Amino acid sequence: MADGSPRTDISTDADTDERNKRYQRGQLAGPAASDSSDRSKDPKDQKTLRRLAQNREAARKSRLRKKAYVQQLESSRLKLTQLEQELQRARQQGIFISSSGDQSHSTGGNGALAFDVEYSRWLEEQNRQINELRAAVNAHAGDSELRVIVDGVLAHYEDIFRLKANAAKNDVFHLLSGMWKTPAERCFLWLGGFRSSELLKLLSHQLEPLTEQQLSAIQNLQQSSQQAEDALSQGMEALQQSLAETLSSGSLGSSGSSGNVASYMGQMAMAMGKLGTLEGFIRQADNLRQQTLQQMHRILTTKQSARALLAIHDYFSRLRALSSLWLARPRE
């Protein structure tokens, strides 16, 4: 019994020391945990967390919008392809399905289709040339290299004027109607093409800075182009008025009399003769466009001419893109 008491005291002291150490460790850990908790409650940290959360949400919404936009573009592309296929089928039906064996309608339709095919090829080649010109401009190519490409682009414009001249002999109404153009391009169509004066207005803002001599020359070219366009427009109005008077004149007696038949045939012969002058209007309008491009090239430097041709191409490309988006727009 005497030996048990000292062991009990020793054990009790050891337990007490262990408890003291645990207490001290707890005291040291306590302030650290408290500091961590206090930091988590810091308003600055809360604001940072909220900002990060907002950024993640904004990024998520941006990804969703981008995905929806890509899907819309793909849908628009498919609709455009479908519309082009339907238009092609409609043109083929219009060519091969003629009433009462009307060979003239078939011939005219074939001429219009042939022109449309050639015009599509011309556009493809123009896109290739413009891409080459744009690459040379961006690479700061020298004047000699740029001049070769610019001359090639201008020569390519002469090709389309030759194609239109041949097409006007087969079906002048196809060129005047602008059915070979996109809807947005047809809004600005004048006698089967663009107005030279309006194009010069657009370019004058794209080619700055210009010297005083260049600016004066371009303004004079614009004025002369406007005067030529006005003269051609007045001629077209006079032709339309004359054609209307020719078709509305004559007797309205019994349709079976030989006199009325002769009068009718005379009216049609006169009207056909007047319609024959339409080809001349198209040719004069294209000559004006061609001369405007050539004179513009003479006024500008080689680098300015390159920029002008790029600006012209980009303008019409945007009109075609606008037409595609318009045709593919969602309809309620």
pLDDT digits (tens, 9 = 90+) for 119-141: 999 999 999 999 999 999 999 99
DSSP 208: -
What DSSP character marks residue 140? T
Question: Mean pLDDT in the chain?
Answer: 81
Interhelix angle 278-299/302-327, rounded to 10 degrees, is: 130
CA distances from 257 to 167, 248, 262, 271, 286 (A): 39, 18, 9, 21, 45
The whole-angstrom distance between residue 278's C-alpha and the CA centroid of its chain comes to 30
Distance of CA 10 to the CA centre of its chain: 96
From first CA to last CA, the distance across the chain in angstroms is 104
CB count in 10 Å sphere of residue 166: 12
Residue 149 predicted with pLDDT over 50: yes
Average pLDDT over residues 202-223: 90
Q: Which residues contact 116 (CB under 8 A, 6 or more apart)?
A: 91, 180
User: Would you state the pLDDT for residue 8?
Assistant: 43
- The mean pLDDT of 284-291, rounded to a whole number, is 96
pLDDT value of residue 107: 44
What is the DSSP annotation of 122-138? HHHHHHHHHHHHHHHHH
How many angstroms separate the CA atoms of 143 and 123, rounded?
Answer: 26
90 backbone dihedrals φ, ψ, rounded to 5° = -65, -40
Encode 32-53: b = buried (16+ Cβ within 10 Å), e = exposed.
eeeeeeeeeeeeeeeeeeeeee
Distances (CA, A) of 162 to 102, 114, 186, 232, 297: 28, 14, 20, 20, 20
Return the closest-CA partner of residue 323 out of 84, 122, 121: 84
Predicted pLDDT at 105: 41
| DSSP state string for 172-200 | HHHHHHTTTS-HHHHHT-BTTB--HHHHH
Contact, 260 vs 253, CB < 8 A?
yes
192, 164 Cβ separation under 8 angstroms: yes
Among 33-47, 166-180, 238-252, the range of highest mean pLDDT: 166-180
- Residue 106 has what pLDDT? 42
Q: What is the pLDDT of residues 176-185, one digit of tens each?
A: 999 999 999 9
**Would you place residue 214 in the very low, low, confident or very high pLDDT band (cuts 50, 70, 90)?**
very high
Q: Alpha-carbon distance 214 to 231, whole Å?
A: 26
pLDDT of residue 100: 36
Q: Tell me, what's the pLDDT at 199?
A: 92
The partner residues of 249 in beta bridges, in order of sequence, read none
Per-residue model confidence as pLDDT tens digits over 42-95:
666 888 888 888 888 888 888 888 788 777 777 767 766 766 666 665 555 444
| pLDDT recorded at residue 205 | 80
pLDDT at 104: 41
Q: How confident is the model at residue 236 (pLDDT cuts 50, 70, 90)?
A: very high
CA distances (Å), 187 to each of 46, 81, 122, 184, 317, in order? 58, 22, 21, 5, 14
Amino acid at 119: Y
Q: Is the peptide bond before 209 cis (omega within 30 degrees of 0)?
A: yes
Strand partners, 193: 190
Closest CA to 307 of 141, 153, 134, 139: 134
Q: Which residue has better confidence, 93 or 198?
A: 198
